[in-house]
Amino acid sequence: MLEIEVIYMRKFTEEYPDTGFVQEVLAQLPWFHLVTIFILLSN
Determine the pLDDT at residue 29. Answer: 78
Determine the pLDDT at residue 43. Answer: 63
Quickly list H helices, the chain: 3-15, 19-28, 31-42
Q: What is the pLDDT of residues 7-37, one digit of tens each?
A: 887 887 788 777 776 677 667 778 788 788 7
CB contact set of 16 (below 8 Å; sequence gap of 6+): 22, 25
